[in-house]
A and B are shown apart, each in its own frame.
Chain A
Amino acid sequence: MKKCFLSFALVAMFSGLSFGQLIDEKNVTVTMDLQPVLQLHMTTPDQVDFVFDDIREYYSGIIKYAATILKVSSSVTWDLYAVGTSQAGTIWDQQMTYSGGGGANAISALPLSCLELHQYEANRYDANAAGGTATDYSGLFQDAQTAAPVVGQNSIFYSATPYTAPGVDQKYIQGHSGTVAGDDGAPGGSYLIASPGVGQDFTDYYFTIDYRIVPGLPAIFPFAGDNLGNAEDLETVNAAGAYANPGVYTMNVKYILLEDQ
């Protein structure tokens, strides 16, 4: 038996070494780390100033055309929204008061919604929007002298918690609340290489933003409102005869780019 094993071993050894076959294999491991990248490039003045020192400006308002240009690059499906906020939360921060605080009906709690935006081009991914006056800011600014303004149509979405994304009844610049494929989020891409689609002047990754404030006379901000159509002008919110307290006010506009949600 031992001889048999030994013979087999010798045969195997000779077959393995003397008549070895050429075969060998090497391998390489390849890893790919795709990190989510969302980049928002914004061209804008550090501060957009509205100075109302002429009666004509109270009536007609002041418009800052294309004061902000937004350029998006994203490796994932994305939404973009603007949100007005302030230290006070949902009203402008009064930095200075003129005329000793105004009269008895002078109101310093100005709604953030008195700031209007107009975006170009329109939101193309807002299919899941529901219940609001507008899904974006693409509507033209209404005539400042119109007798029956559609309140809130261009008013900025505002919130004391600006990093909480707007709901389905609020405005987005691009995309919307929800994740319906192809409808509620713009596809990944970049303003660097995208081309405008049919009928578009800009790509899905480039927007210009106009700003307008119309105080009116008396200064009640007749176009202010939320996106559900509720008026937020000073008379409606306070009482007949109310008007804006002369002074310096500030608010903050944030542009938030986030993965589709």
Chain B
Amino acid sequence: MRNILTTFFLFFFLYQTDAQVCLNPVTSNCADAIMGTSEFLMTTSGNVDFVFDDMRDFITGITHSGSTMLRLRIDEVVPNSCRWRLMMYIDNNSVLPANEWETLVNYGTSGQNPELDLIEVKIYNGCGTPLNSGVFQIFAGNTQYDLLEIIPMGPRIVPAPCDGSQVNGPGSYLTDYNEYSFTIDYRIKPGYILKPGAYQIKIHFCLVEV
């Protein structure tokens, strides 16, 4: 009996997703995406690698288009109450200073370490529902855990005519692909002032009901 209870509690606490920025919601109006019927799916090509080994790349930058795709299916539990928020935030693995990429290795000595606002992201879907849809943006706060809202917290908007509204009600990519799927492009234009080396960051995508 004790083993069963221990297993149960371990399972129960693992189930409580948590992160520095992706905070637990205070409502339970939507079905959850882990054990419930909602879905939060991501397809990506593993690491998004930017390799700058030619001057043309340094000048023009490198863009990885459609590297990440998010697909949502949101079911509601409490009728007419479910709404959600989708955001992304940047993580440098807590290295200091908090505004720089994590350095894996340096190839030289001259130049500056890259800062977090170097990477540009463009989020879009067929109906233009993301905030600043289709525009390259940076993490302007330039610090660890800086946020970019994709679907910000706001009044409940159910799937609408495809008009760019920030839809945040129940729905599914299966029946409404252009409002419940999101494509993310990444771009880096390093210029000439950075120190040669290999660097890394992590970008988190957080879906949470509000």
Near B by CB (< 8 A), chain A positions 66-80 give: 73-77
User: Given A37-B58, A185-B110, are A28 and B192 also a contact pair (CB < 8 Å)?
Assistant: no
Binding-face segment, B20-28, B149-157, B159-167: B20-28
**Nearest-CB residue, chain B, relative to A191:** B55
CB <8 Å contact, A31 and B198: yes
What residues of chain A lie closer than 8 Å to B141, measured between beta carbons? Answer: none
Binding-face segment, B46-54, B130-138, B171-179: B46-54
Specify which of A17, A23, A31, A193 lies most central, judged by the most chain B CB atoms within 10 Å of its CB.
A23
Indicate if B17 sits at the interface (CB-CB under 8 A): yes
What residues of chain B lie closer than 8 Å to A128, measured between beta carbons? Answer: none
CB <8 Å contact, A27 and B27: no
User: Given A20-B36, A22-B207, are A260 and B52 also a contact pair (CB < 8 Å)?
Assistant: no
CB <8 Å contact, B32 and A30: no
Q: How far is the CB of A176 from chain B (nearest CB, A)?
A: 14
CB <8 Å contact, A39 and B55: yes
User: Given A17-B35, A31-B50, A77-B111, are A22 and B199 also a contact pair (CB < 8 Å)?
Assistant: no
Cα distance A47–B5 in the bound complex, in angstroms: 86
**Nearest-CB residue, chain A, relative to B51:** A33
What residues of chain B lie closer than 8 Å to A143, measured between beta carbons? Answer: none
User: Given A31-B199, A188-B193, are A75 and B52 also a contact pair (CB < 8 Å)?
Assistant: yes
Specify which of A12, A16, A73, A187 lies most central, judged by the most chain B CB atoms within 10 Å of its CB.
A16
What residues of chain A lie closer than 8 Å to B8, measured between beta carbons? Answer: 9, 12-13
Indicate if A32 sits at the interface (CB-CB under 8 A): yes
Indicate if A35 sits at the interface (CB-CB under 8 A): yes
CB <8 Å contact, A31 and B35: no
CB <8 Å contact, B197 and A34: yes
Cα distance A200–B87 in the bound complex, in angstroms: 49
CB <8 Å contact, A22 and B204: no
Q: How many residues of B contact A (CB 8 A)?
A: 76
Partner of B47, one of A19, A21, A30: A30
What residues of chain A lie closer than 8 Å to B24, measured between beta carbons? Answer: 21, 23
Cα distance A187–B110 in the bound complex, in angstroms: 10
CB <8 Å contact, A23 and B22: yes
CB <8 Å contact, B30 and A21: yes
What residues of chain B lie closer than 8 Å to A13, measured between beta carbons? Answer: 8, 12
What residues of chain A lie closer than 8 Å to B203, measured between beta carbons? Answer: 27-28, 30
CB <8 Å contact, A30 and B38: no
What residues of chain B lie closer than 8 Å to A31, measured between beta carbons? Answer: 47-50, 104, 198-200
CB <8 Å contact, B44 and A28: yes
User: Given A9-B8, A28-B203, A30-B119, are A23 and B32 also a contact pair (CB < 8 Å)?
Assistant: yes
What residues of chain B lie closer than 8 Å to A96, measured between beta carbons? Answer: none
What residues of chain B lie closer than 8 Å to A73, measured between beta carbons? Answer: 55
Partner of A32, one of B5, B9, B199: B199
Cα distance A25–B206 in the bound complex, in angstroms: 4
What residues of chain A lie closer than 8 Å to B140, measured between beta carbons? Answer: none
Indicate if A228 sits at the interface (CB-CB under 8 A): no
Q: How far is the CB of B88 from chain A (nearest CB, A)?
A: 9
CB <8 Å contact, B108 and A9: no
Indicate if A190 sits at the interface (CB-CB under 8 A): yes
Q: How far is the CB of B86 from chain A (nearest CB, A)?
A: 10
Near A by CB (< 8 A), chain B positions 166-210 give: 186, 188, 190-209
Indicate if A199 sits at the interface (CB-CB under 8 A): no
What residues of chain A lie closer than 8 Å to B95, measured between beta carbons? Answer: none
User: Given A21-B209, A77-B111, are A29 and B33 also a contact pair (CB < 8 Å)?
Assistant: no
**Nearest-CB residue, chain A, relative to B198:** A33
Indicate if B96 sits at the interface (CB-CB under 8 A): no
CB <8 Å contact, B207 and A36: no
What residues of chain A lie closer than 8 Å to B190, measured between beta carbons? Answer: 32, 34, 75
Indicate if A259 sits at the interface (CB-CB under 8 A): yes
Of the A-B pairs whose beta carbons lie under 8 Å apart in the complex, a sample of 9, sorted by A's number, is: A13-B12, A20-B28, A23-B17, A30-B47, A30-B201, A32-B188, A33-B53, A34-B197, A76-B196
Chain A residues near B (Cβ < 8 Å): 2, 5, 9, 12-13, 16-17, 19-37, 39, 73-77, 179, 185, 187-190, 192-193, 259-260
Further 8 A-B residue pairs, CB within 8 A, beyond A23-B209, A30-B201, A192-B59: A22-B25, A25-B207, A26-B70, A26-B205, A31-B50, A32-B114, A34-B195, A36-B196
